[in-house]
Structure 1
Amino acid sequence: MADTAAAACVDCKPDTEQGSSSQVPHPPAPASSNLLDPTTFIPPQPSITPSVTIEFCDRCRWLHRATWVSTELFLTFPAPALRSITIMPLNAEDTAGRFRVWLFLDDKPPVLVWDRKVEGSFPELKVLKQRIRDHIQPGKSLGHSDK
C-alpha cells in the first residue's frame, strides 16, 4: 500500500479504493515560471512527419485514453496523412497530470494541439480532429465531426 501511495501522481486525486483519503500535497510552483504557459513547453522529437506525439502521465493511468485517442486519429487520418503516432508515458513530478497532443510537420515548428491543463479538460475528439485536420488536410471533411 505504501508503495502505491508513494507512486501516486501529485496532480491527481488519490485512489480512495486503496484506503487513502488524504490529498497528496502539491509542491509550490517556481515563482519565475508559469506552468500553464504553452510557450514554455518543450516538445518531444519525432522521427518522421507528419506525426503526432501524445504525452501522458503514466501515474494517472491514462494509457487507455492515449491509445484510444491514437486509434481514433489513425482511423480519421490514415497514412500518408499521418505517418506516425507515438504515445509517450511520463512518470516524473514535473509531468504529473500531463496529457498533451503535439503535431509535427515538415520544416515547421511543432504545434501543441492540446494540453489538458491549459484547456481545462481532456480533448474532445471532434475538436482534436478538427485542429489536426486544419494543419494537415484543410479541405478534408470530417463528416459528423464537422457538425
Structure 2
Amino acid sequence: MDKPRITIEYCTQCQWLLRSAWLAQELLNTFGTDLGEVALIPGSGGVFKVQVAGQLVWERVKDGGFPEAKALKRRVRDIIAPDQGLGHIDR
C-alpha cells in the first residue's frame, strides 16, 4: 500500500507559511514513516486547506479558522491509521 500524501495549501498573501510549516512538522513528528510526503503548496486569496490522499480534512473557511494541532492530528489519524493511539491527545 502506498503511503499517503498530505498537502497543506496556504495563502502567501496572508503570510501563513510559518503556521503551515509548523503543522507539517507536527504531522511528521506524530506519524513519521506512516506518511509518504507532507507538501506545502503556496496559494492566495485566504486559502488554507489540508488534504490527505486527496481527501479534504480541514478548510479554514468551512471549519471556522485554523486547526489546533491535536484536532488536525485526530482527523489525519482517522484516515490513515484509525486504530493508532495519539497518546495524551486522546485523553
What TM-score, normalized by structure 1, do the two folds share? 0.59
The answer for the alignment partner of 1:131 in structure 2 is 75
Alignment-mate amino acid for residue 130 of structure 1: R
Q: What's the secondary structure of 1:77's corresponding residue?
A: helix
What are the ranges of 5 or more consecutive residues in structure 2 without an aligned counterpart? none
Alignment-mate amino acid for residue 47 of structure 2: R
The residue correspondences of 1:1-147 to structure 2 (distance < 5 A) are 49-79=3-33, 81-91=34-44, 96-104=45-53, 110-147=54-91
In 1, Cα distance between the equivalents of 2:31 and 2:69?
13
Larger Rg: 1
What TM-score, normalized by structure 2, do the two folds share? 0.93
What are the ranges of 5 or more consecutive residues in structure 1 without an aligned counterpart? 1-47, 105-109
In 1, Cα distance between the equivalents of 2:60 and 2:79?
20
Alignment-mate amino acid for residue 66 of structure 1: S
In 2, Cα distance between the equivalents of 1:49 and 1:76?
15
> Once the 2 structures are TM-superposed, how far is the Cα of residue 134 of structure 1 from its aligned partner?
0.9
In terms of fraction of residues, the more helix-rich structure is 2
Which one has more relative contact order, counting CA pairs under 8 Å at least 6 apart? 2
**RMSD after superposition:** 1.1
Alignment-mate amino acid for residue 76 of structure 1: T
> Once the 2 structures are TM-superposed, how far is the Cα of residue 125 of structure 1 from its aligned partner?
1.1
> Once the 2 structures are TM-superposed, how far is the Cα of residue 49 of structure 1 from its aligned partner?
3.9
In 2, Cα distance between the equivalents of 1:83 and 1:49?
5
> Once the 2 structures are TM-superposed, how far is the Cα of residue 111 of structure 1 from its aligned partner?
1.0
- Please list the CA deviations of residues 2-30 of structure 1 after superposition, one character each: whole Å capped at 9, or x if unmatched: xxxxxxxxxxxxxxxxxxxxxxxxxxxxx
